[in-house]
Amino acid sequence: MSSTRYLEIAERLAAELAGRPAGTRVASEPELAQRFGVGRAAARSALQELERRLLVRRVQGAGTFVNRRIDYVISHSRPPSWSATVQAAGAVPRSVIKDVDRLPLPAGPAAQLRREPGTLAHRVAREFYIDDLLATWIQEWIPVDVVPELELALQAADSLDLVLRQMGRVKPVRAWCRASLDVPPPEVVRNLRIEASAPTWQVESLSCDAETGAGLTCSTAWTRADAVRMVVELQETLHPDQPEEEQR
C-alpha cells in the first residue's frame, strides 16, 4: 500500500463531507478500513488528517463528527455583540451564565475602562454555544453604574449588547481589540472541556459608548479554533478633503 494512501482517503472523505451538516457522524476507523481495503492505521491517519484540517471533530467515547467553522468578524463598524456576529455567520448562538459577582475593579480592567481601581463592577462569566457546540468561555467586567441590575437583565435577555442598549441607554461600539492564537490556561481547558494542547483564540476587547466615549465593558474570551475562524476587518477613515488615491 502506498505511504500516501491515507491522504487519498482523506481527500475523498473531505469531498463527501463537504455537503453534510455539522454534527453528522463520520464512519468509524473499522468501517473506513473495510470500505477502502486498508488497515486500521491508515484509516486512523485519514481521520487525523481531516481533524488537522478542522473538517471533523473527534470526541472521545462518542465518535467523529463533521465540523464547520464560522467566520467570526471583528470590526469597528459592527456591534460588539457575540450573538449578533454568530447569527450573521448563519449559525445559532446560545449563552449560559455561569457566574455573576459584584467586585471591586482590579487595576487592569479599571485602566481599560478609565475608572478608579476598586470601583464596583459586575464580573460575568459565560459560556457561548454555536449550534449547540460549546465554543467560547468569556469573562467580562461591566461597571455597576452602567446597568445596576445586570444579573436580572441577563436572565431575561441572551445578549449583553441588547441589555446595554435597552437598560443602559448606551450605544456600544468596539473601541479596542487584540486577538491571538494561544494554548489556553488550565482554567479555560476545564471550562471549555478541551485538550490542554488545543490551540485556542484569545480575544481581549473593550467597548465604549459611541456618543460619550465612556468605557462600558472589557472582556477576555477564549474560543475553540475548530469552532471559528477569526476575521479582523480594518477600516480606513478617509479625510473628506483628500482624494482617495493620495491616501494609499
Predicted structure pTM score: 0.83
| 58 and 86 part of one domain | no
Which three-class secondary structure state does DSSP give residue 161? helix
pLDDT in the model for residue 246 = 47
| Contact criterion met (CB below 8 Å) for 123 and 139 | yes
| CATH code for the domain of 58 | 1.10.10.10
Note whether residue 181 is domain-resident: yes
| 157 and 211 part of one domain | yes
pLDDT in the model for residue 241 = 53
| 136 and 38 part of one domain | no
| CATH code for the domain of 116 | 3.40.1410.10
Note whether residue 245 is domain-resident: no
pLDDT band (50, 70, 90) for residue 77:
confident
Q: How many domains does the chain have?
A: 2
Note whether residue 241 is domain-resident: no
| 30 and 99 part of one domain | no
Full residue range of the structural domain in which residue 117 is found: 70-233
DSSP code of residue 115 = -
- Residue for cell digits 452602567? 146
- Residue for cell digits 494512501? 5
| 24 and 108 part of one domain | no
Sequence-ordered strand ranges (E) for the chain: 25-26, 56-59, 63-66, 70-75, 93-104, 120-130, 133-143, 172-182, 200-209, 215-224, 228-233
| Cell numbers given for 140 | 467580562
Choose among 162, 100, 93, 99: nearest CA to 134. Answer: 93
Contacts 24+ apart (CB under 8 A), 178-184: 178/203, 178/204, 178/205, 179/74, 179/203, 179/204, 179/230, 179/232, 181/225, 184/222
pLDDT in the model for residue 189 = 93
> What residues form DSSP beta bridges with 166?
none
Please say if the pLDDT value at position 236 is more than 80. no
How many CB atoms sit inside 10 A of residue 171's CB?
16
| 149 and 203 part of one domain | yes
pLDDT in the model for residue 82 = 87
